[in-house]
Amino acid sequence: MPVKNGYVTSYFGNRILNGKKQFHGGIDFGTKETDKTIFAPLSGIVRVKGLSYSFGNRIWVELPDKTYYVLAHMAMLFDTYKENDVITRGQKVGIMGNTGHSFGVHLHLEFRIDPSNPRTCIDSPYFKQF
């Protein structure tokens, strides 16, 4: 769990948000803890760190198979690491928040394949299931 006593508030897939049909590309977590520290769910290299319009304060982390995950909508990002640093599973990366296109304090976790490189798909363990 990327947050203490976290629970899923919205799963991946189609959903209704504010009365509109929407595809949700990630999974959302909430917590009732006052400590809303976010922990890296997987080790990797931080490729992007900072504020975006939609994801708010977020980091993009590159995994060894060149897939990426994003941790989004954080209230703040810790300055204990910077872009191109390695972060390890369990490392504290920020505080859960409500920045960017968000309606309430939560963590959005999403995975992406590098669209510029088909090998990221072919080399992925998920591809080999077919």
**x/- track of binding to Zn ion for residues 68-87 (CB under 5 A):** --------------------
Interface with Zn ion, residue 26, by CB under 5 A:
yes
Q: Residue 117 Cβ, how far from Zn ion at the closest point, in Å?
A: 25
28, two tokens: 């959302």
Interface with Zn ion, residue 58, by CB under 5 A:
no
Q: How far apart are CA 77 and CA 85, in angstroms?
A: 14
Q: How far apart are CA 40 and CA 125, in angstroms?
A: 21
Q: Residue 26 Cβ, how far from Zn ion at the closest point, in Å?
A: 5
Of residues 102 and 120, the one with the C-beta less far from Zn ion: 102
